[in-house]
Amino acid sequence: MIQITPEIFLDEREISLHFVHASGPGGQHVNKVATAVQLRFDVMNSPSLSEALKARMIRIAGGRITSKGILIINARRFRTQERNRKDAFERLSEWIRLAGEIPKKRHKTGPTKASNIRRLEGKSIRSHKKRLRRGVSIKEENG
C-alpha cells in the first residue's frame, strides 16, 4: 500500500509501470537502457478513490487522462530508471493530493457603497465635461 495522505491509500497493483528509451543526454548509454518511466493509473476503476475525488482528478489532469480514464505520467527527467520511477510516483501522489483538496465555494459579493459613490461622481464629472463641449445656443430676443 502506498500512502498518499492520511486518508488516501493506493494499492501497488493499481499502478502499472512501463520502461522506455529516453531522449536527451546520456551518450551511447541512452540507446541501450530504458530509463524513462511511463506510469499508468486507472482513475475511473480505482477502488481506492471516492467518486468525488475521481471527478476532481479527471478535471485537474486534463490531457494526461485517456478517454478510458487512465492517467499517464511520463517521467524522463533523470538518467537513472530508479530516480525516474520515484519522480513518477511523486507526481502521481501530488495529483491525487491536489484532487483531494476540496475547493472553496465562491460567495458572490456586490460593490461597496463607497465604490458606487465614486462611480456616480465620475459619471457626473464626465457628464459636466460633455455639457461644456456643446455649442452655445444664442437666443434672439424680439423687441
- Assess whether pLDDT exceeds 90 at residue 60: no
Q: How far is 4 from 100, CA to CA, in rounded Å?
A: 10
Over residues 76-135, the pLDDT tens digits come to: 777 777 888 888 888 888 877 887 778 788 899 999 999 999 999 999 999 999 998 988
Q: Which domain holds residue 43?
A: 2-100
- Assess whether pLDDT exceeds 60 at residue 143: no
Mean pLDDT of the chain: 79
Is residue 40 included in any domain, yes or no? yes
| pLDDT band at residue 70 under the 50/70/90 scheme | confident
Task: Compute the average pLDDT of residues 26-52.
Answer: 73
pLDDT at 110: 92
Is residue 53 included in any domain, yes or no? yes
C-alpha distances out from residue 142 to 106, 121, 136, 137, 139, Å? 68, 41, 19, 16, 10
State how many domains the chain has.
1
Is residue 20 included in any domain, yes or no? yes
Q: Assign residue 76 the CATH number of its domain.
A: 3.30.160.20
pLDDT at 129: 94
Share of the chain above pLDDT 90, in %: 18
Is residue 76 included in any domain, yes or no? yes
pLDDT at 57: 78
**How distant is the alpha carbon of residue 18 from its chain centre?**
26
Q: How far is 20 from 35, CA to CA, in rounded Å?
A: 6
